[in-house]
Structure 1
């Protein structure tokens, strides 16, 4: 009995000991506080921007001429090398002129003959007119003399027109540059027989100035009107700055201007055709090039921009997480405007001076307290792209 009582006492002591340990551990666990999450925030501020829109454009020559022969003949000479810059009126090709010289000489002889016949008929008419006053010849004879004179006079006009045509055809044997520009390589060789208005001999393009064609989608057009319009203010094409980029590292230093906007949206593509013209004195732009074209307003605007990384989306719309004055997280639904580079314009939802979380979003939830560090990114102020 004494032994059993002793064993019971030892068991009770052990149970009491372990219970005390567990109780102490529970007390310690209850006293441990979770660490405060750390997030990076940015302070909402006004940014100065110049609204812009970017497009892919393609260059086009303001004049693109197909050089063709206007008369048939054998090609005798070529007076250029492909890729040369030529001036208006410069000789490009020569076609064998001998057949056309012969025709000119024939027409000259025919004209001389017609003029001689007219002179004789006119002299007869003048003499007949004098004799008719004395009654020496009849009225019928006068009518015949008048008709003969008129007919020979018409023959002179016909032969003169034929001579003009022959001389014109002769001039076509010398093919001149109709404009100043850069010429392509020749499509014909010396000795080839060329026919009138059939074979393209070469092409000639005017490189200064140069057009850049691009299209704007209906949605972009609507957004552009909203972005560029300021109340009742009307934006003229001359107010827009138009620039192009030759590559990612090279901007074209000559600004352009819009000189054509189509009068309807293409139903098949849903786009509106627009064209800009650029000076090209150094011939850096060539027809057919693809370029990045940017259109923007000359005056900067002040808007609220926030980091794209801070914006989240759910079924109700887009929202951001704001850290209030008590360092607690709040959820704000926002209304966004245009996108500028990697930032969004905010039209509703946040105010200047408020702090929004841009990094550490996965570590927080609404209502908890957080520790914050201000972002070191530089304030945004640039000419940027609208959505």
Structure 2
């Protein structure tokens, strides 16, 4: 019985093996039948333009003048002549201190002035008599000298009495407290009827129009801006006062008035490594209040012959940042660049590109150095059938992968909207293991795409990962 079973089982096993091996071999033969088409990518031609440059900082609003109103003489506080928190003008009456003592001192000083003046008049008459007697020889020169000295002392006493009168008058004036500047008053610090000492705080006045906004810039950034202005890269301002400043609130709204920078510190804060600057703006409606946090935007600078690229075009490799450019044969080439500044959704390139260069901006994950590509002009993404938005640089890849997975056949050439998906072949898998450069702005998504490209048995996963990258 054993030889019979062996003779029957061997043909059946060979038949089953042939059924399993035949589709795989056919698929491999079909995949190796021709070279894959070049991947479709979006290409932009580099153009130079004048680019306005703005700098944004966090700022804090402060009053342009913060004045402490203090008592300059002691006494009983009789009256407060303003409403707390109200606006006062320069010279408005704020407080009255009991003036009785100072009025008496003024009267005494005036009497002393009169006494000194009377003594001076008597000394002058004595000098005249002594001079006349000395000229006739009836009196000695010593008597004349004494009379002259008495007159000079009388003049000095008059000056001293007048100074004492002015001092007493000032003390009387200080009993009436007036606003030294216009602004908004704070709370009263001392109630009426209190006994004041010289120097006691009475209230504060904040001048809110104009108003200041203090902000700080990193020392490296400030130095970079200064160098760019000096070497002519940045145009439009030769001094901080030439820049225009605008304010943006936390809710996104913009303050309707603009200001200028009126102060920049010449020292660096040793604790924060920043340079303090101050902007001044008109504030007639008091929309800006002291202590308020705002976003301060510095405008007025521009870069001539500037080159900008979308952020997704920037790549990161072992040697630094670069982009892919196309030569005359539409083959991709690595072009190292220097990024001067990150903008809103784009980058400012300072070195590495020239006007007229063709740069791959979308579909960079499908590009290999030296390989040909199918360049497509930049355009608005179209809505594919089914209501889902089309991707950038890999349009149709997800749909093609899903279609091939549903049919159970390897996806060799699947198109959507005229674009060709990448082939799922063994060489592509090997290339994915080598770790090609990926977009600097989307490193995780680029890694997911490369892993999906290395798994030809899961076309649905490939399509899903690429769709996530596109979105």
1:280 equivalent in structure 2 = 283
Q: Report which of the two has the higher share of helix.
A: 2
1:348 equivalent in structure 2 = 352
Deviation for aligned residue 1:245: 1.6
Contact 2:234 2:302 in 1 (8 A): no
- Relative to structure 1, the CA distance from residue 161 to residue 31 in structure 2 (aligned partners, 3 Å threshold; closer, same or farther) is same
1:188 is paired with a residue whose SS is: coil
Deviation for aligned residue 1:84: 1.6
Whole-Å separation in 2 of the counterparts to 1:12 and 1:219: 80
Deviation for aligned residue 1:76: 0.7
Contact 2:248 2:295 in 1 (8 A): yes
Deviations 1:204-260 (A, max 9, x none): 222222222222222212432455442697941254222222334221222222222
The runs of 5 or more residues in structure 1 that have no matched partner are 378-387
Deviation for aligned residue 1:187: 0.9
1:305 equivalent in structure 2 = 308
- Relative to structure 1, the CA distance from residue 213 to residue 38 in structure 2 (aligned partners, 3 Å threshold; closer, same or farther) is same
RMSD: 3.7
Whole-Å separation in 2 of the counterparts to 1:202 and 1:124: 57
2:188 equivalent in structure 1 = 186
2:362 equivalent in structure 1 = 358
Deviation for aligned residue 1:83: 1.8
Which stretch shows the higher mean deviation, 96-105 or 135-144?
A: 135-144
2:217 equivalent in structure 1 = 216
Whole-Å separation in 2 of the counterparts to 1:108 and 1:139: 36
Higher relative contact order (CA 8 A, sep 6+): 1
2:272 is paired with a residue whose SS is: coil
Contact 2:186 2:205 in 1 (8 A): yes
2:51 equivalent in structure 1 = 49
Deviation for aligned residue 1:350: 8.0
Q: Report which of the two has the higher share of strand.
A: 1
Which stretch shows the higher mean deviation, 184-193 or 57-66?
A: 57-66
1:381 equivalent in structure 2 = none
1:78 pairs with 2:80: yes
- In the superposition, the TM-score normalised over structure 1's length comes to 0.80
1:29 is paired with a residue whose SS is: helix
Number of corresponding residues: 370
1:66 pairs with 2:55: no
Contact 2:236 2:300 in 1 (8 A): no
- Relative to structure 1, the CA distance from residue 15 to residue 208 in structure 2 (aligned partners, 3 Å threshold; closer, same or farther) is closer
Which stretch shows the higher mean deviation, 54-63 or 155-164?
A: 54-63
Deviation for aligned residue 1:202: 1.3
- Relative to structure 1, the CA distance from residue 321 to residue 115 in structure 2 (aligned partners, 3 Å threshold; closer, same or farther) is same
Deviation for aligned residue 1:190: 0.3
Deviation for aligned residue 1:12: 9.5
2:119 equivalent in structure 1 = 117
Contact 1:336 1:348 in 2 (8 A): no
1:209 is paired with a residue whose SS is: strand
Whole-Å separation in 2 of the counterparts to 1:323 and 1:138: 118
Deviation for aligned residue 1:105: 1.0
1:236 equivalent in structure 2 = 238
Deviation for aligned residue 1:261: 2.5
Deviations 1:64-114 (A, max 9, x none): 211111111111111111222211111111110000001111111222222
Which stretch shows the higher mean deviation, 91-100 or 291-300?
A: 291-300
Whole-Å separation in 2 of the counterparts to 1:204 and 1:48: 46
Whole-Å separation in 2 of the counterparts to 1:186 and 1:15: 104
- Relative to structure 1, the CA distance from residue 20 to residue 371 in structure 2 (aligned partners, 3 Å threshold; closer, same or farther) is farther
1:385 equivalent in structure 2 = none
Q: Where in structure 2 are the equivalents of 1:232-381 lying within 5 Å?
A: 235-237=237-239, 238-297=241-300, 299=302, 301-320=304-323, 331-346=334-349, 347-348=351-352, 352=356, 354=358, 356-358=360-362, 361=365, 367=371, 374=378, 376=380
Contact 1:67 1:204 in 2 (8 A): yes
Whole-Å separation in 1 of the counterparts to 2:46 and 2:235: 26
- In the superposition, the TM-score normalised over structure 2's length comes to 0.67
2:98 equivalent in structure 1 = 96
